[in-house]
Structure 1
Amino acid sequence: MRTGQLIKELRLKKGITQETLAAKTDISVRTIQRIENGEVDPRAYTLQSIAIALEVDFEVFADSEMEVKATDEKERGTWLPLLHLSGLLLLIIPPIILWIWKRDQVKHIRGHAIDIINFQLSMSLYLLPCALFSVYPILIVLGIFSQVVIIVNTVRVTGDQPYRYPLTIRFLKQELTA
């Protein structure tokens, strides 16, 4: 169970409102709302304050976080490599379907999906003129190059290593994080 959900569940069992919990912990009501909705991950001292206010052991939250991290790692280890591997088809639809389907369950899937889609769009842009003008040697080299890059990056993501898609035009932009 996510920490925010656990806090909400414990708070409701105690019959405490978000306002009361905020007053007991010196945390703003908005922050309590954001934690419970899963918009932010609370820091350890925030969790400690909430644990004291809800009269539970801090370990309850620590155990919850360990469970979530184990689940997240398992999800990442399965779906991110599959997402990269879907790029072998040189069709944009499979990565988009995986992205939309797993966007709420797999952390960082958006960035991986955008990288794959950008690479596929770039390769399509390079391959199309080669096919139209019958430049078969370049067509073959680009085709093999794209397949090798996708396989190498799939292996890297499986090993939790950084990956890179060369010759990629950034059609879709990554979100800027503060």
Structure 2
Amino acid sequence: MQNENSNLGQKISDSRKTLGLSQEALAEKANVSLSTIQRIEKGTVKPRSFTVKILAETLELDPTELLAYLIEKKMPLSSFSALKRMNLCTLLLVFIPFVNLIIPSIVWKKSKTIYSKDTAAGKMLSFQLLWSICTIVVVLISIFMTNLITGEAGLGHYAANTLYLLAVVFNVFIIVKIASQFNKEDRNILPFVSNLF
């Protein structure tokens, strides 16, 4: 639900900025408190439909367009099972950077039950992409730094292997946490990751 609220907040924020209004000016013009405007734009609150209608009129928008963000979109169970399959593919390939990204993306594209713009699927792939890049960079830096400090080429591999295993454990933890959220039919996953897909 937070995702729909943040989409509504983003739409209101963009429209307000287009009209050159500050949050204070919008609050005054719409006769709504400033804190309400701030919470709506942050996506931390589900506003009442009356408030959304007033904001739509003030921002010269179609009220039905903004009210559509308030309608709860229930994800079908088949979509959750497809997302679980995608997550499981990631878990099975967690030891191989970038392959843990390719196979789940194929599952996503081939699945008829996961929407092409699904934010949960996109966030899973975004996390795997960022994890793969960060893991490879950290491992390479650790090898380089250990070789630079000690002067011995073989010692860098111990540090790199340790860091790699820690990264894999972290990734497995995130994948298990996502699976737990999907079991609860919660699609608001990975709030700290931007959807890159």
TM-score normalised according to structure 1 size: 0.48
TM-score normalised according to structure 2 size: 0.44
